[in-house]
Amino acid sequence: MKKQLILGLAVAAGLATGFGLDPAQAQKKSLVIGMGSADAGKLDPHLASTTPDKGLLNYIFNGLVRVKPGQASPDFIEPDLAESWTTNANGTEWTFKIRSGVQCHHGYGPFSAEDAAYSIKRASNKATSSYSGDFAAVDKVEAVDGSTLKITLKNPVAGFLGYVANINGGNMVCKKAAEEMGENFGKKPIGTGPFQFAEYQPQQFVKLTANKQYFRGAPVLEDITYRYIPADSSRDLAFQSGELDMIYGKQDQTWVDRTSKLPGVKVKAMEPGELSALYLNITSKPLDDIRVRQAIAHAIDRKAIVQFKGAGSSREAVSVVPSGYLGTDEKSPLYAYDVNKAKALLAEAGYPNGVTVKTIHTTLTGMQTFIEAVQAQLKKANINLEIELVEHATFHAQIRKGLSPIVHYQAARFPVADVYLTQFYDSASNIGTSTAITNFTFCNVADTEIRAARVEMDATKQKALWKTAQEKLVTNVCGIPVYEQLQLWAWKDNLDLGYELNGSLNLSPPVTEKTKFTK
């Protein structure tokens, strides 16, 4: 029976001359995207926390402001639902002028300052939002009139506009729809974006249709089918066979090399880079000795890791905050690779024969290959890294219980240094506390600077504070930043995105009203 298969394969090999463009595809108006997940999760923008869900919602919703399509830096913030905005001198009062003539999807009426106020209140409420923490400083939100929104903050917030941009809690929902649907809002999300929700088929796809009334003009594309295809190889094959126009890539260099060779295909490694760093619990033995931590830092060869991960899809880390963020110290004093120094430091700390440290680690492939490479590097300096592999949700639970003295975490955050520093290094975020987020290090050396920078209105002083914070964290080896993994995507070259793609905060390329097929 397998004979038939072999025969089929032989024929296939003969026919595998690559995928040519089908003339029937002329003036294609339907875009099919292949996403690497098994199914849709929560399609409510204030609850969605996974890359696949955020990517899709990006096509449906707007923020008060947005990061220009194709960019991933707050330097590119531009008006979205708000035409313009002003702020008082100390940055605690923000007034937004809401654009007129914007319509909510599916006939839910015009979008007003009232909707915007409702949306921010909804995103600040921990019962309806995963991002309530982002709005902790919000004191009052009010619609002064139909087109004026006023937000009063308890204290200034670094990069506040980022929180009302088109990501996470900044996505603007329409009040009438959200109130009417309540908890069911995620089953039919209503926004104001270029595409509106049309259909959901479990484990198959979500279909969006063009919002003809979109305020920037009716989209060229008629619809988007967002397909859930968890197997990397199946996504690749469906892309090759022409069933998909754009795919989320397997996050490794071999995929880039292989996919780049396909005819008529564009491959992009885009921003933001997810920073892979090791977080050392400085209260646990033997990591409480700074010499042991320095030894580990000296024993890791960032250059070799990037070679291993692929130069086209990754780059060396520059600081404890990913590169390119507002406030990143692009030249922080990272420890240089020096095995002998590492050994000497260990000997000095009383471990002339080496030391054993432990990490609980996820089985996610990309992350696992990294920690194994690190393990091999540390071995050369007589540091024995014991890796206990557990499945991903278990990993997240156990590291938050403080069971892993070394935690490998890979993440991108909103690109303002404060977010990364607060979540990973402010002692208020220590795991096990009521305000815990992801400080696994129990480090508090930079608390003063992190907190001062958060409310500092002078941009130069703020940057200086962030720089000091990063220097302290690096030299005290609370975290060891190693490399940054870029986001890999591929699409057919007959698809014109309508903008230059350098990055996307939602980790998937925006599809805008201008996106079209050229043939």
Partner 1 sequence: MTAFLIRRLGFAVITLFAVLTLVFVLVRIVPGDPAQVILGDQASREAIEALRERLGLNLPLYHQYVVFVWGALGGDWGTSMMTGRPVIQEVLNVLPWTLELTFLSLLIGVVIGVPLGVAAAVRRNRFTDYAARIGSLLGLSFPPFVSALLLLLAFSIGLHWFPVISAKSGSLSAWVESITLPAINLGLITAAYITRVTRSAMLEVLQEDYVRTARAKGVPWSVVVWRHALRNALIPVITIIGLYLGILIGNSVLTEIVFSRPGLGKLIVGALNQRDYTMLQGMMVIYTLVVVLVNLATDIAYGIADPRVKFK
Stretch that binds partner 1, among 303-311, 327-335, 395-403, 487-495 (CB under 8 A): 395-403
Binding marks (x or -) toward partner 1, 428..447, rule CB under 8 A?
Answer: -----xxxxxx---------
Give the SS3 label for residue 317.
coil
Distances (CA, A) of 157 to 8, 395, 407, 457: 62, 32, 29, 9
User: Residue 280 is inside which H or E element, if any?
Assistant: strand 265-280
Residue 263 is a binding residue for partner 1 (CB under 8 A): no
For residues 488 and 252, give the distance between their C-alpha atoms in angstroms, rounded to a whole number: 8
Nearer to partner 1, 244 or 474 (CB): 244
Please report, for residues 55, 132, 239, 351, 379, the alpha-carbon distance to residue 356 in angstroms, rounded to integers and kept in the order given. Answer: 41, 40, 46, 10, 10
Minimum CB distance to partner 1 smaller for 8 or for 333: 8
Tell me which amino acid residue 71 is: Q
Return all residues near 474 (Cβ < 8 A) that are at least 6 apart: 319, 320, 332, 333, 334, 335, 481
Q: Is 457 in the site for partner 1 (CB under 8 A)?
A: no
Residue 440: CB atoms within 10 A of its CB come to: 26
Decide whether 281 or 294 has the Cβ nearer to partner 1.
281
Query: What is the contact mask toward partner 1 in residues 79 to 118, using x (rule: CB under 8 A)?
Result: ----------------------------------------
- 101 vs 202, which CB is nearer to partner 1? 202
Dump the DSSP string for 166-214. SSGGGSPPPHHHHHHHGGGGGGS----SSEEEEEEETTTEEEEEE-TT-
| Binders in 9-28 for partner 1, by CB under 8 A | 9, 11-16
CB of residue 323 to partner 1, shortest distance in Å: 20
Q: In whole angstroms, what is the distance from residue 151 CA to residue 129 CA? A: 18
Piece in contact with partner 1 (CB under 8 A), picked from 130-138, 338-346, 443-451, 461-469: 130-138
What's the closest the beta carbon of residue 516 comes to partner 1, in angstroms? 23
Any contact of residue 42 with partner 1 (CB under 8 A)?
A: yes
**404 is written with which tokens?**
């892993």
Asked whether position 388 contacts partner 1 by CB under 8 A, the answer is: no
**# residues near partner 1 by CB under 8 A:** 64
* Residue 415 touching partner 1 (CB under 8 A): no
Which residue lies nearer to partner 1 by CB, 50 or 155? 50
Is there binding between residue 411 and partner 1 (CB under 8 A)? yes
Contact assessment for residue 194 and residue 174, using Cβ atoms and an 8 Å cutoff: no
Answer yes or no: are the C-beta atoms of 234 and 36 closer than 8 Å.
no
Q: Is 363 in the site for partner 1 (CB under 8 A)?
A: no
Helix, strand, or coil here: 386?
strand
CB-based contacts of 197, cutoff 8 Å, min separation 6: 43, 60, 105, 188, 189, 190, 206, 208
Among 339, 390, 455, 464, binds partner 1 (CB under 8 A): 390
Rule CB under 8 A: choose which of 25, 87, 398, 476 binds partner 1: 398
Which residues 171-200 are close enough to bind partner 1 by CB under 8 A?
183-184, 186-187
| Closer Cβ to partner 1, 2 or 331, answer by number | 2
393 interacts with partner 1 by CB under 8 A: yes
Binding mask 220-239 for partner 1 (x = CB under 8 A): -------xxxxx-xx--xx-
**Burial class for 68, CB neighbours closer than 10 Å (0-12, 13-18, 19+):** middle
Q: Which is nearer to partner 1, 84 or 234 (CB)?
A: 234
Piece of 41-49, 377-385, 478-486, 509-517 that binds partner 1 (CB under 8 A): 41-49
In the complex, the smallest distance separating the C-beta of residue 499 from partner 1, rounded to whole angstroms, is 27
Q: Which helix (H) or strand (E) holds 140?
A: strand 138-145
Q: What counts of helices (H) and strands (E) characterise the chain?
A: 14, 19
Question: Minimum distance between the CB of residue 455 and partner 1, rounded to whole angstroms?
Answer: 19
- Inter-residue contact 304 to 246 (CB < 8 Å): no
Q: How far is the CB of 12 from partner 1 (least distance, A)?
A: 2
Contact status, residue 192 vs residue 62, Cβ threshold 8 Å: yes
CB of 57 to partner 1, least distance (A): 13
**Site of interaction with partner 1 (CB under 8 A):** 1-2, 5, 8-9, 11-16, 38-42, 47, 49-50, 126-127, 130-133, 183-184, 186-187, 201-204, 227-231, 233-234, 237-238, 240-241, 243-244, 390-394, 396-398, 400, 411, 413, 423, 433-438
